[in-house]
Amino acid sequence: MYFSDLGLIALILGLGFALYTVVVAVLGAQRKLPQLISSARRSLLVVTFFVLLASLALIASFLTHDFGVIYVAQHSSLAMPLYFTAAAFYGGQEGSLLYWALMLSLFSALFVMTSRRAPAALVPYVMATLMVIEAFFLLVLATVSNPFVRSAVTPADGAGLNPLLMDPGMLVHPPMLLMGYMSFSIPFAFAVAALATGRLNSEWLRSIRRWMLAAWTIQSIGLILGAWWAYHVLGWGGYWGWDPVENAALLPWLTATAFLHSTMVQERRGMLKVWNLVLVMLSFALSIFGTFEVRSGIISSVHSFAYSDIGSYFLVFLAIIIAFSSILLFVRLPQLRPDQDFDSIVSREGVFLLNNFLLLGMTFATLWGTLFPLISAFLFHQTMTVGAPFYNQVMAPLIIVLMLAMGVGPLLAWRRTSSNALWRNMSVPVIGTALCAVILPFFGVLDIAANIGFSICSFTIVAILYELWRGARVRHSHGEAYPVALFMLFKRYRQRYGGYIVHLGLALLVIGIIGSHYFQVQQDALLKAGQEMNAAGYRFVFLGNIDRKDVDSETITSQIQIWHNGQSLGYIYPGRLVYKNFPSQPVSLIPIQTFGATDFYVLQGSPPTTAGEALIRIFVNPLVPFVWWGGVMMVLGGIICWWPDRRKQVKQRVQTTNESALVAPVEEKEAVR
């Protein structure tokens, strides 16, 4: 028996147990039979076992070079390193779907093992919903997208992995992004369970929040890694090109971000109940849409697979999800009336609502631009594409207003904020912004749009730092040293202050985007050995080309020495790598040198024709490191928000009067103004 036979059997058995779990979980909940619910729990764990077994069978097929499996022959070769051979598991359509199903089964098992923390009435419906999703993926894998199909003739070697995937980023970006798509399944399952049972109080919201935080953080990591991969592999000098597949990954992140803000309004004021359910459902629907878009191949992208009939399966599944969710929501509308009304637009909940409108506006604009080629082809019988200028013109003002709202929000109280309190809280950030706007032109920032963008980012940064300082100052007044006070703020109020870290990270990321967008410089020069080109005060001296041939590839690199102020800063080697099996898909080798907050991005503009000359292209990318620093800070903030609070509720009930004075000190004082 081949490993592929074992994998196919495991898929079929996993599908059977997934369907059994759905039936038994619902029956157990409807008839209030705990034995059936316990059986459903065990059955879900069995599904996890079989999906894990199928995944291991596929990995074993790769590691043993079983080229009789068509998928293995298409995505690996004998010359590939072991780690890329194993990573080829998710390098194609069939394997990536199996990875999706594997992560869903593991997360479902994690939910079952921690389900005592969730409302008991919701648990069986959450399991049933998750297993419906799992059953869909296993059905697709067992039929139209089977990774274990064998060919009649076993080739001696495989074609190898796509050259763009032969990169260390392959080991981290695709699995994180696919896991991000998948992780929106559990919040969706909670929403369905709450609607199905009618238990729509704050209990389900508390249960869902940490799962959504986990999904948001995982998707954030996937997006940042994707931008980093594009930056150092694709060779066009940028990190985000508004590619349809990039857009699809951004969509559920935007709606999940909106949910994480509006859920605080529901927890605090009992409002936006319908809105929050819609955002959860929309996040999951968009994650399925993203999976559908890549796997169907209906939209042209450097990331997507070839056209496949699998798209129709995902389209039908997506339609069923939207229809079923909408019906459930409509039936429960009478139970979703808000507990309170908005008292004032000038309040924290007012800013959160504006925040949601902006994020949904960005979602719609991105979705429209992504789908417009299909819409134009259907209506006008010609494919019209939407380029980066459209997204930049639409998204830039939305992002700037969003940044402004992020800075204003922490300075406002719940319910309403008096004009005196508003001015008192905003005076320091406004002064900081004015100083920034005045100083920037002296540093060469003469573009008005760039100046506005930098100034608003500075407003947000100063406002958040001011809020952190005020909180630490209150704790310091009760006898804590400032470092201890700041640490205790993060320890005791993780969601609030972790959110501030996320906002600081986003502000840094936007600063990086503004700098690289407005001030990027590109220089090209055809150089002969000994000639040089200058960029931003640095000299790049071309010394010649080096041609190295391996068994399965050829690498041509250009040796360049960098000089600054008469001193040599070392050598860099931009080049091109061509694999024998993919002669028409050369891979750029791009050395990126960072000096201060500026990247020097160097590559060969075209393959050298002789050993003594090369077309060298240099991008000077100011502030791009801020993109990566901001991304890391956002992920760190997400982890802080998600990190479980181990304090017992008993401790919270017996806090002293002095301690209660420290609880969210600034917020409580503002609330009575």
Span 577-599, pLDDT tens digits: 988 888 888 888 999 999 889 99
Cβ neighbours of 583 (radius 10 Å): 9
Cβ neighbours of 139 (radius 10 Å): 18
- How large is the average pLDDT for residues 465-491? 89
> If you average pLDDT over every residue of the chain, what do you get?
88
- How large is the average pLDDT for residues 496-505? 94
pLDDT in tens, 509-523: 999 999 999 999 999
The sign one gets for the Cα dihedral 282, 287, 290, 296 is negative
- How large is the average pLDDT for residues 486-499? 89
Residue that wins the pLDDT comparison between 586 and 670: 586
> In whole angstroms, how far apart are CA 299 and each of 90, 206, 236, 355?
20, 38, 21, 30
Judged against a pLDDT cut of 80, whether residue 431 lies above it is answered with yes
Alpha-carbon span 654 to 670, nearest angstrom: 24
pLDDT at 191 (0 to 100): 94
Confidence of residue 300 (pLDDT cuts 50, 70, 90): low
Judged against a pLDDT cut of 80, whether residue 38 lies above it is answered with yes
Confidence of residue 265 (pLDDT cuts 50, 70, 90): confident
- How large is the average pLDDT for residues 359-370? 93
Helices (H) and strands (E) in the chain, counts: 22, 10
* Least trusted range by pLDDT, from 18-32, 146-160, 206-220, 383-397: 383-397
Judged against a pLDDT cut of 70, whether residue 307 lies above it is answered with no
Judged against a pLDDT cut of 80, whether residue 108 lies above it is answered with yes
* Least trusted range by pLDDT, from 30-34, 39-43, 371-375, 404-408: 371-375
Of the candidate CATH numbers 2.60.98, 3.90.1570, 2.40.50, 2.170.130, the domain formed by 519-625 belongs to: 2.60.98
- How large is the average pLDDT for residues 29-58? 96
- How large is the average pLDDT for residues 456-482? 90
pLDDT at 581 (0 to 100): 80
pLDDT in tens, 88-98: 998 888 999 99
Percentage of the chain beyond pLDDT 70 is 94
pLDDT at 422 (0 to 100): 76
Q: For residue 44, what are the contacts with CB-CB under 8 A and spacing of at least 6?
A: 17, 21, 108, 109, 112, 127, 130, 131
Confidence of residue 418 (pLDDT cuts 50, 70, 90): confident
Specify the 3-state DSSP secondary structure of 159. coil
- How large is the average pLDDT for residues 169-179? 88
Amino acid identity at 472: A
Which of 180-189, 204-213, 309-318: highest mean pLDDT?
Answer: 180-189
Q: For residue 91, what are the contacts with CB-CB under 8 A and spacing of at least 6?
A: 75, 161, 162, 165, 170, 174
- How large is the average pLDDT for residues 422-436? 86
pLDDT in tens, 124-144: 999 999 999 999 999 999 999
Judged against a pLDDT cut of 90, whether residue 113 lies above it is answered with yes
pLDDT in tens, 619-663: 999 999 999 999 999 999 999 999 887 654 444 334 433 433 444
pLDDT in tens, 330-349: 999 988 888 777 777 878 88
pLDDT in tens, 188-234: 999 999 999 998 887 788 889 899 999 999 999 999 999 999 899 88
Confidence of residue 42 (pLDDT cuts 50, 70, 90): very high
Judged against a pLDDT cut of 90, whether residue 45 lies above it is answered with yes
Task: Kindly give the pairing relationship between strand 538-549 and strand 553-564.
Answer: antiparallel
Name the DSSP class of 69: B
Given a contact cutoff of 8 angstroms between Cβ atoms, the answer to whether 127 and 25 are in contact is yes
pLDDT at 301 (0 to 100): 52
Q: Which of 405, 623, 434 is nearest to 510 (CA)?
A: 623
